[in-house]
Amino acid sequence: DTLNAKKFKIITRRESLDLVLNGLEKAIKSGFHSVKVNVVAMRDFNNDELLDFIELTKNNNVTVRFIELMPFDSHQIWKTGKFYGADQIVSDLEKQVKKLIPIDGSKTEHYVFQVNDYEGKVAVIPAYSRSLCGECNRIRITADGKLLNCLYSQGETNLRDLMRSGATNEEIQIEIQQTMWNKLEDGWEAQHLGKDHRESMTQIGG
C-alpha cells in the first residue's frame, strides 16, 4: 500500500519494505505470467504515491491495482476520512499522466489502463462502490475453511467441517454449487440482508 519506508512501518510495524520490494523484483524476473501489486488507495495517506506506483509498470509487465478502501461497516468508511473513490482515482490519474489508454483487463478490474506506453498496466477496482458486481465471477475461501460467494455475503459454507466429517467429493461439490446458486445480484444486496459481524478485510483473509 506504500513505497514509502516510514508509511510502511506505520502500516506493518516493521522496517521491511526492502524485503517486499526485493520479493517483487524476484517475482518479475522469475517470469511469472501475471504479477499484480494491490494498493488500497487511501486519501491523505498514499494518494500522493499514484505516480510512484505507476512507475513500477514502466519497464515491467506488472499490473498495479488501486483498490477502494473496503470496511464492512458502512459508517466506518466515512468516519476514517480516507475513502478514495474509484472515479476520483481515475480523475487524478488523468491529471497526472500524459496518456491514460483504456485496455482490457480481468472481470474485477473495472478500469484498466496502459500509461504512457509503459510495459505494464494500471487498474482501478471499485471494491466499495461495487460497480463491477455484474461481471464478478469470484469466490473466497477464508483461512478457517469457509466459502463465501461474495466478499459482502452474510452466509458462509463451512467446507472445513464438511471435509472433517468425511463428506465425499460429490457432496462437497454439491455444497459449492449450491453456494454459487445462492449468489445475490450484487454486494449491496448481500450486505443489506443483515448486520455483518466483520469489520475489516483481515477477518476474511484480505
Mean pLDDT of 186-190: 51
| CATH number of the domain where residue 57 is located | 3.20.20.70
Cell numbers for 14, please give them.
516493521
- Percent of the chain exceeding pLDDT 90 equals 55
* DSSP single-letter state for residue 27: H
**Do 91 and 152 lie in a common domain?**
no
Half-sphere exposure of 77 (CA within 13 A, CB side): 16
> Of the candidates 77, 82, 13, 20, which has an alpha carbon nearest to the alpha carbon of residue 47?
82
pLDDT: which is higher, 147 or 202: 147
Tell me which amino acid residue 85 is. G
**Do 118 and 161 lie in a common domain?**
no
Angle between helices 17-29 and 5-12 (to 10 degrees): 100
41-72 residue pLDDT tens:
999 999 999 999 999 999 999 999 999 887 65
Distance CA 123, CA 205 (A): 21
Residue 26 neighbours by CB under 8 Å, 6+ apart? none
**Do 12 and 78 lie in a common domain?**
yes
Contact indicator for 8, 17 with CB cutoff of 8 Å: yes
- What domain range includes position 104? 5-125
**Do 114 and 51 lie in a common domain?**
yes
Distance CA 28, CA 34 (A): 9
**Do 25 and 94 lie in a common domain?**
yes
Position 202 confidence tier, pLDDT thresholds 50, 70, 90: low
- What ranges make up the beta strands (E) of 42-180? 62-68, 100-102, 111-115, 121-125, 140-141, 146-148, 157-158
**Do 30 and 89 lie in a common domain?**
yes
Tell me which amino acid residue 18 is. D
Last residue of a domain, one of 101, 125, 149: 125
Contact indicator for 2, 11 with CB cutoff of 8 Å: yes
Last residue of a domain, one of 97, 125, 153: 125
Asked, for residue 132, whether it belongs to a domain, the answer is no
Last residue of a domain, one of 125, 151, 177: 125
Task: Tell me the average pLDDT of the chain.
Answer: 84
87-131 residue pLDDT tens:
999 999 999 999 999 987 765 666 889 999 999 999 998 877 655
**Do 119 and 145 lie in a common domain?**
no
**Do 115 and 147 lie in a common domain?**
no
Number of domains in the chain: 2
